[in-house]
Structure 1
Amino acid sequence: MTSIESYLFKPINNPQQQVHIITIAERLKKGGKSLEVPHRTDFYILYILSEGRAKHMIDFQEIDVKVGDVLVISPSQVHKFIKTEDYDGYLIAFPKVFLYQTVQNKLFIENAQIFNNVDLLTKFFFDAEGFQEILGIIEKMKGELSKPYDEFQAPILNNLLSNILFLLERRWTTLRSSNDLQHSKSSKDYLYVATYKKMIKEEFKEATTVKHYANKLNISERKLQKVVMDILGKSPKELIDEQVILESKRLLVHESMNVKEVAYAMGFDEPSYFTKFFRGKVGIAPTQFKLENTSSPNN
């Protein structure tokens, strides 16, 4: 068993050309078996399926992807391709900093629901008309990327990518509204929850108290408890625990670390406390979870 492979974003032709577009078929051909092994990236990936039906694994969840689906994969997530019948589409890869060329885009990527939604996964479906609009912009991006680099290319690509992201955000917002994912609560409450989850992902190893996050949000613990429970049906502490469990699973399965090392990495003073915590949340001991999920090199 090896550590989680982490892939860094590498510009292809020019340091300013910080966005890649490649077909899924071409990426699978170039990446080979390495893509069927769990890995992370330090950049975002838009997984857009245009042919066939696929499966993709993200943080121990096998996801079905069909034509018209868009899957947003974030840097922190461990994922892998699952080889099934023929399918194709596009992968758009870009680092966060590529959208930092304008203040408006920086604010967007820091606050957009597609990157900071309260759910674990961001996957949604476009109808034929909406999907063709996305594919049309991709063709324009591919055309621009095929040209020799000049000073205008980066802002043009930035604008085209931003258009896709704005369309995704509009679609996500529409679906949330139609599916009543807000549970009739205010968008401000939803923003509190989304921001809280974002903070947990960034700080959960160092900050494990609800009070810490409530203070940073400038609201009371009682208020945070209420909005999280109303929108997600869980307590704020449960979300912290879920993040600890998720990262523990990642380390147990994908890193060359034993239970004791994972316990200390997660901030537990004693491995026995970690084992008790893990068993209480997952239902089995971390040693058993590790054994059951590392039987194959592709897990």
Structure 2
Amino acid sequence: MDELIRYPFLHTFNPIQKINATTIKERLSRKPHQLFLPHRTDFYMIFLFTEGNGKHCVDFHPLSVKPKNILFISKGQVHNFDEKETYDGNTVVFTEEFFCRTEDERAFLHHSPLFNDPLQLAYFEVGERYQELETLYNLIIAELKRPTHPNQAQILHNYLYNMILVTELVYQPRKIQVIPNRQQVLVSEFKSLANEFLYEHWSVDNYAEKLNVSSRTLQTAFSVIEGISPKLWLNERLCLEIKRLLTFESKTINEISFLLGFKEASYFVKFFKTRTGITPSEFRKTRQF
């Protein structure tokens, strides 16, 4: 089995700033074959689709591309373009280093519902804000083409920040309040920690302790905001990671089990089969490319 391809950030217009903007067709023209295969990226991506149709697959979910829809892909997510695509759009890619210059900016990015929950893909129609987002994209392109100057990084950061703020207003999968209350913040912090420490196989109690709240407080907040328990969300998040590793890594079942913190491979197999109906080996056979 081939190892999953990981793509690092590459500069185009500007050799200094770790933010880039191109159309989808321009992006595919550089590495067309590789990008049609599932791959991970070491940066964040925003796709604002402008025309055409087709599929874009993210973490085993084929999304139907529609003009004026936007898609957010977090660092480390698995995705691939449709080889038969007829769609185009604007893409903005940026590194964590570029966006997170302060702890507040790091917290904002990691807690944003657009990026912090791979179980709820942030793909939706932007409606009347489409023109505004396209303008921000064009401003990023124009600034990247200018000679480097002392204020350039701040200007680019502001444009990107505004893109995220505007789309957060549109993205309300569970009618989340625009101004987060304490429970919403707690759930976002939990998801951010879970994405960071997933391989440690922490319990809900471990996360509650790390967040300086009681397990009951965390359970209640998650139930109110998500409608499920944090334990169920953790299990589904872990199951997604197992699928990624089974599909794109050459590690054995035992190695993956150990990597993800399972004490016994037999429990790992039982955990996966309970949630998918098939064993890890059976799943791997269905996903070979």
- Calculate the TM-score normalised by the size of structure 2: 0.91
Q: Is 1:45–1:94's contact at 8 Å kept on the other side of the alignment?
A: yes
Letter in 2 for 1:263: S
- Matches of 1:118 and 1:33, distance apart in 2: 25
Give the distance between the partners of 1:102 and 1:213, measured in 2 at CA.
24
% identity of equivalent residues: 36
Q: Deviations over 1:94-134 (max 9, x none)?
A: 0122123466644432433322358521112112x411111
In the alignment, structure 2 segments of 5+ residues that lack a partner are none
Tell me the equivalent position of 1:216. 210
Give, in whole Å, the separation in 1 of the partners of 2:59 and 2:36. 13
CA pair 214-279 structure 1, distance change in 2 beyond 3 A: same
- Equivalent residue for 2:277, pick from 270, 275, 283: 283
1:145 and 2:140 equivalent? no
Contact in 2 for aligned 1:118/1:197 (Cα 8 Å): no
Report whether the alignment pairs 1:205 with 2:204.
no
Q: Where does residue 184 of structure 2 map in the other structure?
A: 190
User: What is the rounded CA distance, in whole Å, between the counterparts of 1:53 and 1:118 in structure 2?
Assistant: 23
Aligned to 2:44: 44
Q: Report the Cα distance in structure 2 between the residues aligned to 1:180 and 1:151, rounded to whole angstroms.
A: 40
Matched residue, 1:239: 233
CA gap of 1:102–1:275, structure 2 versus 1, over 3 A, is closer
Which secondary structure does the structure 1 equivalent of 2:31 belong to? helix
C-alpha change, 1:231 and 1:100, in structure 2 (3 Å) is closer
Structure 1 residues 285 and 111: alpha-carbon distance in aligned structure 2, compared to 1, 3 A threshold: closer
Sort the Cα spacing of 1:111 and 1:246 in 2 relative to 1 into closer, same or farther, 3 A. Answer: closer
* TM-score, normalised with respect to structure 1: 0.88
Aligned residues of 1:118 and 1:193 also touching (Cα < 8 A): no
Q: Mean Cα displacement is larger for which, 191-200 or 89-98? A: 191-200
CA deviation after TM superposition for structure 1 residue 165, in Å: 1.7
Note if 1:59 corresponds to 2:59.
yes
Deviation at 1:190, TM superposition (A): 1.9
Residue pair 1:78, 1:250 contacting (<8 A) in 2 also: yes
Are the equivalent residues in 2 in contact too, given 1:51–1:89 (CA < 8 A)? yes
Aligned AA (2:144): L
Q: 2-side partners of 1:170 and 1:195: how far apart?
A: 19
Gaps of 5+ in 1: none
1:83 paired residue number: 83
Equivalent-residue separation in structure 2 for 1:29 and 1:11 (angstroms): 15
CA RMSD between the two structures: 2.1
Aligned partner letter, 1:67 = P
CA deviation map 1:47-80 (0-9, x unaligned): 1101112311111111112111110000121111
1:23-68 Cα offsets, whole Å, 9 max, x none, are 1011112111100111111110001101112311111111112111
Summarize the Cα distance change of 1:143–1:108 in structure 2 as closer, same or farther, 3 Å threshold: same
Aligned residue-pair number: 287
Residues 194 and 7 (structure 1 numbering): CA distance in 2 closer, same or farther, change over 3 Å? same
Question: Does structure 1 conserve the Cα–Cα contact (< 8 Å) formed by 2:51 and 2:87?
Answer: yes
Counterpart code for 1:236: P
One-letter amino acid of the counterpart of residue 4, structure 2: I
The match for 1:8 is: 8
Give the whole-Å Cα distance in 2 for the aligned partners of 1:104 and 1:262: 34
Kindly state the Cα deviation for residue 14 of structure 1 after the two structures are TM-superposed: 5.2
1:120 aligns with 120
Which amino acid is the alignment partner of residue 126 of structure 2? F
**Structure 1 residue 22 and structure 2 residue 42: aligned?**
no
Q: CA deviation at 1:207?
A: 3.9
Query: Partners of 1:265 and 1:166 in 2: how far apart?
Result: 36
- Amino acid aligned to 1:115: F
